[in-house]
Amino acid sequence: MAGITFENYNNGAKGRMIKEIERLKKERCAVILAHNYQRPEVQDIADYVGDSLELSQLAARLPNKVIVFCGVHFMAESAAILSPDKTILLPEKYAGCPMADMVNAEDLKAKKKEIPDAAVVCYVNSSAEVKAESDICCTSSNAVKVVETIDSDKILFIPDRNLARYVASKVSNKEIIPWEGYCVTHERVTLDDLNKAKAAHPRAVVVVHPECRVDVVEAADHVASTSGIMKFVRESDSEEFIIGTEMGIMHRLTRDNPTKRIYILSTGMVCPNMKMTTLDKVLTALQDMKWQITVDEELRTRAYGSLKKMLEV
């Protein structure tokens, strides 16, 4: 008779945890949303996997009153801004975003005084207080369109300098002033990493996220948001891809495209904040209904204004 191995024991414990999550989810009428960068096992228990805005909009549309948002703080906050009548839970309360933390409302107010004629376009990777101080929000997939549409020739683009520069390369008739923020995970990847990956897989199409450094973006064959990357790989006739974004995306990409060969641009593309959410934290969130993310109503209304303007675009 086979003995109980450590692996069997672990698999059994994981199976029980998943069953309990499923049971509690029904009991609480909850839905689990997971960002594309979450751990594979967290993506697997989620009802929906997607990018931050997609998930926040879903949270607002779905009938469930309890939303377990497996992502980082600003994402759960965006869901709370769009769905003030729902309970938004972030399973790991310390899961933040270093890029979102690179701008705060006070510094933004000071900058606005320096350049009063600039409109503020704010990437959704930002706090509610920063969104509230901005004219309009954008995502990585609609940033170019938002900037093109806005009625101002001068744009202060916050907080991602790389996305700002990517937008500037596409919109020539506006002055774009980038805030000096960046995503530590995407910034880590260099042109040298890209050249090495291309040398290892010369036939692969290189697809990167616009949060990457400018020289990496310029050297790529295609630039897209996480959802855009998923779509591009799915619809492309190519068989090999090098992907320049956070490693978590590989889980769905490889599963949904089993006949294609897909490589990560660099194994350093890991966001530690995204990996803080684990199955046991999802279970605790549902058991104890924590950590609830709320936004003060006055602040929420102002932040909602910037998100709403973007959704209208």
For 35, phi and psi rounded to 5 degrees?
A: -75, 155
Q: Is 125 in the site for ligand SF4 (CB under 6 A)?
A: yes
Q: Of these, 72, 121, 146, 207, which contacts ligand SF4 (CB under 6 A)?
A: 72
One character per residue 214-253, x = contact with ligand SF4 (rule: CB under 6 A): --------------------------------x-------
DSSP assignment of 135-195: SEEE-TTTHHHHHHHSS-SEEEEESBHHHHHHHHHH-TTSEEEE-SB--HHHHT--HHHHH
Sites for ligand SF4 among residues 95-114 (CB under 6 A): 97-99
Q: Of these, 185, 226, 266, 277, which contacts ligand SF4 (CB under 6 A)?
A: 185
- Give residue for tokens 């004219």: 135
Q: Is 282 in the site for ligand SF4 (CB under 6 A)?
A: no
- How far is Cα 27 from Cα 20, in angstroms, rounded to an integer? 10
Residue 126 Rama label (left phi>0; alpha psi -120 to 50; beta): beta
Q: Is 93 in the site for ligand SF4 (CB under 6 A)?
A: no
Considering only the stretches 41-49, 60-68, 133-141, 178-186, report the one whose residues sit in contact with ligand SF4 under the rule CB under 6 A: 178-186
Considering only the stretches 21-29, 171-179, 216-224, 267-275, report the one whose residues sit in contact with ligand SF4 under the rule CB under 6 A: 267-275
Q: Is 70 in the site for ligand SF4 (CB under 6 A)?
A: no
* Cβ distance to ligand SF4 smaller for residue 127 or 273: 273
* Cβ distance to ligand SF4 smaller for residue 25 or 50: 50
Q: How far apart are the first and last CA of the chain?
A: 64
Residue 262 Rama label (left phi>0; alpha psi -120 to 50; beta): beta
Question: Residues in contact with ligand SF4, total (CB under 6 A)?
Answer: 13
Sites for ligand SF4 among residues 34-53 (CB under 6 A): 37
**Which of 297-300's residues contact partners 24+ apart within 8 Å by CB, and which partners?**
297/84, 299/128, 299/129, 299/132, 300/80, 300/81, 300/84, 300/128
Q: Of these, 24, 163, 243, 271, which contacts ligand SF4 (CB under 6 A)?
A: 271
Sign of the dihedral defined by the CA atoms of residues 190, 191, 196, 201, in that order: positive
Burial grade of 34 (CB within 10 A; 0-12, 13-18, 19 or more): buried
- How far is Cα 182 from Cα 191, in angstroms, rounded to an integer? 16
- How far is Cα 233 from Cα 98, in angstroms, rounded to an integer? 28
Q: Is 204 in the site for ligand SF4 (CB under 6 A)?
A: no
One character per residue 246-265, x = contact with ligand SF4 (rule: CB under 6 A): x-------------------
N residues, the chain:
313
Q: Of these, 53, 120, 168, 183, which contacts ligand SF4 (CB under 6 A)?
A: 183
Considering only the stretches 139-147, 183-191, 231-239, 284-292, report the one whose residues sit in contact with ligand SF4 under the rule CB under 6 A: 183-191
Considering only the stretches 9-17, 93-101, 164-172, 218-226, report the one whose residues sit in contact with ligand SF4 under the rule CB under 6 A: 93-101
Q: List residues near ligand SF4 by CB under 6 A.
A: 37, 72, 97-99, 125, 183-185, 246, 271, 273-274
